Chain A
Amino acid sequence: MTSAANSVLSSATPGHRARLDDLVLHHEISQFLYAEARLIDERDFHTWLDLFSEDTRYLLPIRRNNVDDEFTDPSGMELAHFDDTKEVLTRRVVRMASAVAWTEDPPSIQRHLITNVEVRRLDDEEFAVHSCFQAHRYRLDRDVEVFTGSRDDVLRRDTNSPLGFSIAARTVLLDHTTLLANNLNIFL
């Protein structure tokens, strides 16, 4: 934190102070999410992988058009496109980096836009973070696919993480029931 920010904080009332803490936290986490998105877009997948905690769960459940309401069951026996541990995420990164992953040969051009960031404190070290994304994947010449959705993350302050936080859990809701893409060979 800058000394200017420190000086503002030290002169603030307790109410102000808490709000300024929230502001700074929101800024830190937004910057983390933007930097994470950039790691994916710049294809630094190994560094991206290092953002995930060893106990992480990366979940991308299937969604459905149900009679009564939108139905998504991330808990138990329903299908998920991804229900990954750190080890499985590692395999996906190994595949991407293998030079024989034909979906990414030559590499697609991707842009992950992150927005609508909301932060809630779980405790001093862990934060529940909701955000929205739009990921644009351009492949070869004319194949363009757009993935829009939300993420619910649990972020943990972690000095071992390359970006200061680790992702202890991520649930991605993709805004498709029928996935309108040739594959989900993309990190979201």
Chain B
Amino acid sequence: MPIAIDPEEIRRLYDSAEGVINPAIFADEAIYQAELERIFGRAWVLLCPEQQIPRPGDFFNTYVGADRVMVVRQKDGSVKGLLNQCRHRGNELERADFGHRKMFACTYHGWAYDLEGKLRSVPREELVFPDGFDKSAWGCVSMAQVDTYKGLVFGTWDPTAPPLRDYLGDAAWYADIFLDRWDGGLQLMGGVSKWIIKANWKLIVEQFTYDLAHAESAHPSALIASLPDDANMAEMRLPTQGAQFSSPSGHGAGMWTEGGPVLDLIGGPEGRDYWRESLPEVERRLGKARADVAVLTVNIFPTCAMFDPTRQLRTVHPVGPDESEIWAWNFVPAAAPEEVKRSWSVSTMRAFGAGGLFEADDSTMWRGIQRTLRGAVGRRSPLAVAMGRRESEGPNPDYPGRVAGACSEMAARGMYERWLDLLTCDTWTEIDQAAKARFAEGARR
């Protein structure tokens, strides 16, 4: 696999033991290009929720890295991920965001592909290829593996990537808090909302991998705006009880186990009440430790983020070293009354949509980081991702995997470890070995 940068050079950009990052990783074009090849070209990436493509012939246009990919429901109910590029002259096959097709016909010269991506017809084929043309060799470029986990479709370009379930590992236990909490399952409310952030993709997913601690400093305006007039701001404190999970695959989760006022702010009154009243159901399904999680963020590396109790799923598409697109979906309990579903979704958009009371602050921080990285000194001066480094990280009776306190940055360090492994290792065997070695090291520190 071609890369333009030297693995040894990349290894110097991140020191996990000390928790030190060289911020060039958020700004360098060569690193960005390497990420497209070696991370987005190999990892399991969220394609879309299954509910975006319920019927055979339904498609949803997304990105994997910077590549346009059509996620297509097949006649047998399975899903394929097809590169949205005609094999003839390279034109986009499908320009709409989503829809339903029998065939994907290129509008340039008319080459037409079926739902599986097989090239079915070339206009005037006998005339232009008098000696014949092997159409079977010119089907759409197809993702090597596509699989689903609890309603989410993931794909990878790499046939040697481990199966999705192995890739998720212990992170599935945490993702289930979002994906599997109710008997009636989840309902997607509307479709996807999209906006851009002029900042590197890792800065955004990093927050969902672990960072609950930023809220007090970043979001006071949303707290002031959201709380009742008689609330005493001086007594307002964000929760401190919680935990953080970090996976050898770079996934992470942050959890508050006391809801406090936060639960009142996001979800709206109907969502909040449903959340509370359904806790016995959640405990029956997932057990007490997970039912006790009041605020949850999860990121499946690289870019599949879940957030409760907002019920928001996100992906982050890299657009360049200094720009990203956020795509967000709202999932509500399918068995809830219609009014609850609507209210919950509307409340989530108010808090964490592009115009959200909280979200706007986050965009300012991510943009603010990126603004500091134009300069040579800003780009090379080390950043500390070191909080909680001396804390104990290890097994926990309530949670699987490597667990630390909620205000640690362990899971960020885990994310950058995996980022480094993917950029520097050529095979998944090497990637796994690197992760095992790191974990053995982690147990010693």
**A residues touching B (Cβ–Cβ < 8 Å)?**
60, 62, 64-68, 73, 76-84, 88, 91-92, 94-96, 98, 100-103, 140, 143, 177-185
Q: How far is the CB of B203 from chain A (nearest CB, A)?
A: 12
| Cα distance A94–B191 in the bound complex, in angstroms | 30
Docked-complex contact A67 and B96, CB < 8 angstroms: yes
Docked-complex contact A66 and B359, CB < 8 angstroms: no
A contact residues around B359 at 8 Å (CB): 183
B contact residues around A92 at 8 Å (CB): 225, 357
Docked-complex contact B354 and A103, CB < 8 angstroms: no
| Chain A CB within 8 A of B74 CB | no
| Cα distance A178–B328 in the bound complex, in angstroms | 11
B contact residues around A76 at 8 Å (CB): 342
| Chain A CB within 8 A of B83 CB | no
Pick the contact of B196: A67, A98, A182 (CB < 8 A). A182
B contact residues around A80 at 8 Å (CB): 346, 349
Pick the contact of B189: A66, A77, A183 (CB < 8 A). A77
Docked-complex contact A143 and B99, CB < 8 angstroms: no
| Cα distance A59–B367 in the bound complex, in angstroms | 27
Known contacts: A65-B95, A100-B224, A103-B364. The answer to whether A78 contacts B191 by CB under 8 A is yes
Q: How far is the CB of A101 from chain B (nearest CB, A)?
A: 4
| Cα distance A83–B190 in the bound complex, in angstroms | 14
| Cα distance A144–B91 in the bound complex, in angstroms | 32
Known contacts: A83-B349, A177-B97, A183-B363. The answer to whether A95 contacts B194 by CB under 8 A is no
Q: Which of B369-424 contact A (CB under 8 A)?
A: 371
Inter-chain pairs besides A65-B97, A78-B190, A98-B221, 4 sampled, C-beta below 8 Å: A80-B349, A81-B349, A91-B226, A180-B195
Chain A residue at minimum C-beta to C-beta distance from B222: A95
| Cα distance A9–B90 in the bound complex, in angstroms | 66
Give 13 CB contacts A-B under 8 Å. Answer: A60-B355, A62-B193, A65-B95, A67-B96, A77-B342, A81-B355, A91-B225, A98-B224, A101-B361, A140-B371, A182-B367, A184-B354, A185-B355
Known contacts: A102-B218, A182-B363. The answer to whether A91 contacts B357 by CB under 8 A is yes
B contact residues around A143 at 8 Å (CB): 198, 367
Provide the B303-342 mask, 1 if CB < 8 A to any CB of A, else 0: 0000000000000000000000100001000000000011
| Chain A CB within 8 A of B197 CB | yes
Question: Could you say which of B98, B325, B360, B367 has the most chain A C-beta atoms within 10 Å of its C-beta?
Answer: B360
Provide the B197-225 mask, 1 if CB < 8 A to any CB of A, else 0: 11000000000000000000010111011
B contact residues around A67 at 8 Å (CB): 96, 98-101
Docked-complex contact B191 and A64, CB < 8 angstroms: yes
Q: How far is the CB of B326 from chain A (nearest CB, A)?
A: 9
Chain B residue at minimum C-beta to C-beta distance from A99: B221
A contact residues around B349 at 8 Å (CB): 79-83
B contact residues around A96 at 8 Å (CB): 221
Known contacts: A91-B226, A103-B360. The answer to whether A181 contacts B345 by CB under 8 A is no
Docked-complex contact A94 and B225, CB < 8 angstroms: yes
B contact residues around A65 at 8 Å (CB): 95-97
| Cα distance A5–B283 in the bound complex, in angstroms | 73
Pick the contact of B195: A82, A98, A101, A179 (CB < 8 A). A179
Q: How many A-B residue pairs have CB under 8 A?
A: 127
| Cα distance A83–B346 in the bound complex, in angstroms | 7
Pick the contact of A77: B190, B192, B193, B226 (CB < 8 A). B190
B contact residues around A82 at 8 Å (CB): 349-350, 355
Q: How far is the CB of B377 from chain A (nearest CB, A)?
A: 18
Docked-complex contact A79 and B224, CB < 8 angstroms: no
Chain A residue at minimum C-beta to C-beta distance from B357: A95
Docked-complex contact B354 and A179, CB < 8 angstroms: yes
Q: How far is the CB of B53 from chain A (nearest CB, A)?
A: 13
| Chain A CB within 8 A of B289 CB | no
10 smallest CB-CB distances across A and B, nearest first, come from A184-B355, A67-B99, A95-B225, A185-B360, A179-B195, A101-B221, A79-B190, A183-B360, A178-B194, A78-B190
| Chain A CB within 8 A of B353 CB | yes
Chain B residue at minimum C-beta to C-beta distance from A180: B196
| Cα distance A97–B228 in the bound complex, in angstroms | 16
Q: How far is the CB of A137 from chain B (nearest CB, A)?
A: 12
Docked-complex contact A81 and B354, CB < 8 angstroms: yes
Docked-complex contact B363 and A88, CB < 8 angstroms: no
B contact residues around A102 at 8 Å (CB): 218, 221, 361, 364-365
Question: Could you say which of B101, B194, B221 has the most chain A C-beta atoms within 10 Å of its C-beta?
Answer: B221
Docked-complex contact A66 and B97, CB < 8 angstroms: yes
Q: How far is the CB of B370 from chain A (nearest CB, A)?
A: 10
Pick the contact of A66: B96, B194, B226, B357 (CB < 8 A). B96
Q: How far is the CB of A20 from chain B (nearest CB, A)?
A: 41
Pick the contact of B99: A66, A83, A88, A184 (CB < 8 A). A66
B contact residues around A181 at 8 Å (CB): 195-196, 354
A contact residues around B224 at 8 Å (CB): 94-95, 98, 100
Provide the B82-110 mask, 1 if CB < 8 A to any CB of A, else 0: 00000000000001111111000000000
Q: Which of B217-252 contact A (CB under 8 A)?
A: 218, 220-222, 224-226
Provide the B264-299 mask, 1 if CB < 8 A to any CB of A, else 0: 000000000000000000000000000000000000
